[in-house]
Amino acid sequence: MIDFELVDLARGLVRDRFPHLRAAWLGGSFVSETATPTSDLDLTVLLPGPPAPYRESLRYEGYPVEVFVQTEQSLSHFCDKGLETRRPTMIRLVGESIILADHDGTGASWQRRCLDWLRTGPEPLSQAEVDARRYRITDLLDDLRGAQDQDRIGMIGSGLLESSADLLLSGSKRWVGGGKALVTELERMDKETGSRWLDDLLGATRSAWTGDPGPIAKVSEQILDQFGGPLFEGFRAEARIPTAYS
């Protein structure tokens, strides 16, 4: 249940610190109702111009707060970056939010725009992108087969968790993430499709850290098989060298 006292606190913060704001949104775990005792308030504030853009961590009336202060140009940049990388951090912070202030309509319009992106999903992977992910997982599986000690098996297993989940999600035209955001995206997929990928991947990775490579190898191979199987021979990736070094 959303804590509306915290919503009022967030509204007071943006009113006190940003008197010339255009819009502000409260997003993150307090809105998705996944907050823990150590969670901070995630605020995005839209200003007409400088001193934005910047990010600031602070405490307000005892609560930890992360403030992402944007202009329309910088907000567009970070949303475009999220679309490109399939990691919609800023898009979720604005789209899945409570509007705290909206002085010129941009609060509602940006929220609608971000929600549309979230519902549509990212662009499908190109074949080259699929192949690069297949190669990465194949390479990790080869490393896993040769690993002799528990620590290396655990580390490779963690790499397979992230790489396999990335292929599974992005290859299914879904959003991806890192750390706890990856768990959230897998949870969303499992809830919507009735799958058990999160439990399978996490359980297999735990086994890897005990020195048992079998479960994570099996789950990773199952995901690989959905997208063409292992890839090593014949894989080629063109190098892109910055102009300054060419």
Residue 245, pLDDT score:
59
pLDDT by 10-residue block (mean), the chain, 246 residues: 86 95 94 82 97 96 95 98 96 97 97 97 96 98 96 98 98 94 95 97 98 98 98 88 69
d(CA 62, CA 102): 26
Contacts of 234 (CB under 8 A, 6+ apart): none
- Average model confidence (pLDDT) across the chain: 94
Q: Are 71 and 88 contacting, i.e. CB atoms less than 8 angstroms apart?
A: no
217: amino acid identity, one letter: A
Q: Are 169 and 122 contacting, i.e. CB atoms less than 8 angstroms apart?
A: no
The 3 state secondary structure assigned to the chain is: CCCHHHHHHHHHHHHHHCCCCCEEEEECHHHHCCCCCCCCEEEEEECCCCCCCEEEEEEECCEEEEEEEECHHHHHHHHHHHHHHCCCHHHHHHHCCEEEEECCCHHHHHHHHHHHHHHHCCCCCCHHHHHHHHHHHHHHHHHHHHCCCHHHHHHHHHHHHHHHHHHHHHHCCCCCCCCHHHHHHHHHHHHHHCCCHHHHHHHHHHHHHCCCCHHHHHHHHHHHHHCCCCCCCCCCCCCCCCHHHC
The position carrying tokens 């040769």 is: 146
Tell me the residue length of the chain.
246
Pairing of the two strands 63-70 and 41-46: parallel
C-alpha closest to that of 136 among 219, 237, 215 = 237
pLDDT digits (tens, 9 = 90+) for 6-58: 999 999 999 999 999 999 999 998 888 777 888 899 999 999 999 999 999 99
Residue 159, pLDDT score:
98
Residue 35, pLDDT score:
77
Backbone angles phi, psi at 67, to 5 degrees: -115, 125
Give the pair of three-digit tokens for residue 144. 């896993």
